[in-house]
Amino acid sequence: MGMIIQGATGDWEVVIGLEIHAQVTSKSKLFSGASAAYGAEPNSQVSFVDAAMPGMLPVINEMAVEQAVRTGLGLNAKINKFSVFDRKNYFYADLPQGYQISQFLQPIVGEGKILIDLKDGETREIGITRLHLEQDAGKSLHDQHPSQTFVDLNRSGVPLMEIVSEPDMRSPEEAAAYVKKIRSIVRYLGTCDGNMEEGSMRADVNVSVRKPGDEFGTRCEMKNINSVRFMQQAIIYEANRQVDILEAGGTVDQETRLYDPDKGETRSMRSKEEAHDYRYFPDPDLLPLEFDDAFIKRISETLPELPDDKKARFIDELGLSAYDAGVLVAEKEVADYFEAVAKGRDAKLAANWVIGELFGNLNRTGKGLSESPVKANALGELIDLIKDGTISNRIAKEVFEEMFDTGKAAADIVEEKGLKQVSDTGAIEAAIDEVIAANPDKVAEYRSGKDKLFGFFMGQVMKATQGKANPGVVTKILKPKLDS
């Protein structure tokens, strides 16, 4: 269901399109050999090409081209065997050349589509307009000096993929699901690390409003949002701002706006440029980019199993619910961990332990999966102890807590604390006899037809054995004694 804003003149529908800038996973920059690594000292990774020194010529990074094609294949998109690099002309202090090398009319990747997963279990298809390669600009640092702006050119020339969607999203939730799906796909492919905090993935968000069924309204673009939560907040604020203007009889100006997360509002940066404002023309220093079917085929043969295919396999082959499968495949790291736990074991039980106990403890301690003290093989060994009857499910949860806190193996904890499940029929029968003898009134009630009291007796026996009695053995011995 899309986001509908109720105004005095009726309902308004929100229309959203996204341009995601994803930094290509590559050791070097798009047109130079300088390092593209994050976090270096300012201006320590700048070649003469990046600094736009006279006479310096760009040379295309083949790895960046392969990564763009790989991403295009992952987006079910058309790969263009002929594409052109263009100069996008504008002035800014952190753009040494006075232009950005990008792709305009002939991008490397054409139309595609992805499925987004919504909370209600539904999926929606979102169209991809294009993916093109371009170089990043440098970074202006406004907080280093009270009256001067510093410029760091380490990022200048870093390879970016700009992934442009169709205006197919109708709510902040759909936009969030789209960003998460793109991030998941590029991480599976290994073409971008998807780290929004470090700026290696960020989004320009286009928002407009219209009466349902009408033509698209005038859109405003909010630049460089690097948080899914901030993006959703920006969409809600901006959509309501536009509705207020239209309801008051005004018109929405097509412009570029900035979202301020501290104030929770958008503010105008500049009027929105059109393509002709940038005076695009083919870069005379770069030949058109051409490759053949064999190049595409070689890359396609190395594609991993992607989230949608993995989700379908988890549902069809492992018997997981659509919800559990969706949670487990969202991040490749989680999917790999789960598969290691589930290998040769009950997949549903493994899923329950990963999603329930593991995620619960990671959230409690603020840790990521890579920091988990309980590795996949260790969790698998705990599940083995449940399945072979060594410990009960209840005891297993206590064991897991200690595994998480200490990093010890499940078998060692069970041995040290004497937590092995009691399956000795003699010991269990003695405990049952004691419970029956201590509760003659409850026995009489049970035998008069109150079958629900069986749970009471089970609980008392488990309590008497400190939770160690094998529930299956207890049931087998207890029921005939109560019924007799």
- pLDDT tens digits for range 391-439: 888 889 999 999 999 999 999 998 888 777 666 677 788 888 888 888 9
3-state secondary structure (DSSP) of residue 338? helix
Query: What CA dihedral angle connects 114, 116, 121 and 124, to 10 degrees?
Result: -70
How far apart (Å, rounded) are the C-alpha atoms in residues 75 and 254?
A: 29
Stretch 453-471: mean pLDDT: 84
Lowest average pLDDT, out of 117-121, 126-130, 440-444, goes to 117-121
Q: How confident is the model at residue 12 (pLDDT cuts 50, 70, 90)?
A: very high
- Chain position carrying tokens 């070097």: 28
**Joined tokens for residue 252:** 């929405």
Residue pLDDT, tens place only, 369-394:
999 999 999 999 999 998 888 888 88
pLDDT at 275: 67
Question: What's this model's pTM, rounded to 2 decimal places?
Answer: 0.86
255-260 and 220-225 strand pairing: parallel
Q: Between 484 and 429, name the one with better pLDDT.
A: 429
Mean pLDDT estimate for the chain: 92
- The proportion of the chain whose per-residue pLDDT surpasses 90, expressed as a percent, equals 75
Contact between 373 and 404 under an 8 Å Cβ cutoff? The reply is: yes
- Burial grade of 256 (CB within 10 A; 0-12, 13-18, 19 or more): middle
User: Three-state SS across 309-329?
Assistant: HHHHHHHHCCCCCHHHHHHHH
CB atoms near residue 438 (< 10 Å)? 11
Q: How many residues does the chain have?
A: 484
pLDDT at 1: 62
For the sheet containing 281-282, what is the strand order?
99-102, 86-89, 281-282
pLDDT at 383: 95
First to last CA, the chain: 59
pLDDT at 272: 64
The H or E element containing residue 376 is: helix 376-387
Residue 235 has pLDDT above 70, yes or no: yes
Stretch 73-80: mean pLDDT: 98
Residue pLDDT, tens place only, 164-183:
999 999 999 999 999 999 99
Q: How confident is the model at residue 136 (pLDDT cuts 50, 70, 90)?
A: very high
Stretch 262-274: mean pLDDT: 83
Q: Domains in the chain, start-ordered, CATH in brackets?
A: 4-299 (no CATH), 305-417 (no CATH), 425-483 (1.10.10.410)
Q: How confident is the model at residue 249 (pLDDT cuts 50, 70, 90)?
A: very high
Lowest average pLDDT, out of 19-33, 40-54, 446-460, goes to 446-460
